Amino acid sequence: MKRRNFYLAGFLALLSFDTLAQICFKYAGTYALPLDFELSWFVRLFSRPWVYGAIFGYLGAFVTWMSLLKYAPVGPSFAASHLELVSVTLFSVWLFNEPLNAYKLLGGSLIVLGVLCLAKSEGKESGEDKDPGEGKDSRAV
Amino acid sequence: MASLAALLWFLNMLVDTGGQLSFKAAASHGVPATGPSSWKEHWKNMVVRPWLWIGIGCYIGEFFVWMAFLSQVELSSGIMLGCFNIVVIMLAGRLLFDEKLTPWRVAGILLITGGVAVIGFGGAA
């Protein structure tokens, strides 16, 4: 039970950090256009605040991710962290006026269904496998 | 997808997969079967091995590649196309870490691949 709460809190933190980072990434990349593979692109990138928001979100997600990876297998945890797809898509409609067309709705739904399948696979696994760290799991992140 | 966007998408897939696999190696190599004895010891164990640093290198590369990619496509399309990394990482996890491909995981891989293909065909630009 405690382990479940630990995972839930971890994934929620990961989701928030990831969503923040993606929005900042988009702003940073857009304001740094044109993409010319020269020093001037990096200068434009770092002269706006967005890249620093992206770094903050990236670092927060990194620390959360490394703490989770200790016990969870790489594939399914990676999948669970990708539910950011939904939050980022909602924000992109609101902030960047991106249309939600039929392709995106169908494609996005298929991906979310796929992610749920991976999460289901994960739930079965952790029921079978005995976690070696169980019993002394009062750790906090 | 324009060819520049496609190239950046592919590059991002390479560094992301490399980074994730390195972090998995960093977090699991040298950990005793009973689990790491403390948070400090776990990190001490990780910083002296190359995997953590290789992973960080990949992540720094990915940082710029991903930003360049997102400046070429819509954020919502970009984030969906980026989900193909899940499939690549699962297959690599099967190859390198013997992680099982259960029927649910195979279904997940097929659905995500289908979803990414739909976004791609929808002319993500």
What 3-state DSSP class applies to B2? coil
The string of DSSP letters for A53-74 reads HHHHHHHHHHHHHHHHHTTS-H
Kindly list the domain boundaries of chain B, sorted by start residue: 3-121
CB contact under 8 A, B122 and A107: yes
A71: in domain: yes
Domain annotation covers residue A124: yes
Average pLDDT over chain B reads: 87
Q: What is the pLDDT of residue B11?
A: 95
| Distance in angstroms (rounded) separating the CA atoms of residues A86 and B116 | 14
Q: Determine the structural domain holding residue A121 and report its residue range.
A: 2-128
Region B24-41: mean pLDDT is: 75
Domain contains A140 = no
For residue A137, being part of any structural domain is answered with: no
A35 has a pLDDT exceeding 70: yes
Write the ipTM: 0.81
Closest Cβ–Cβ partner in A55, A106, A111 for B112: A111
Cβ proximity of A70 and B71 under 8 Å: no
Residues 17-76 of chain A whose Cβ lies under 8 A from any Cβ of chain B: 22-23, 25-26, 28-30, 32-33, 35, 45, 51, 54-55, 58, 62, 65-66, 69-71, 73-76
Q: Quick one: average pLDDT of A76-93? A: 81
User: What pLDDT shows up at residue A133?
Assistant: 39
Helix axes B3-28, B39-47, angle to 10 degrees: 120
Q: Is A32 within a domain? A: yes
pLDDT for residue A140: 33
Q: How many domains, in total, are found in chain A?
A: 1
Structural contact between residues B63 and B83, judged by C-beta atoms closer than 8 angstroms:
no
By C-alpha distance, the chain A residue nearest B66 is: A25
Q: Pick the residue of A24, A25, A83 with the most B CBs within 10 A to test the interface with B by mutation.
A: A25
A15: in domain: yes
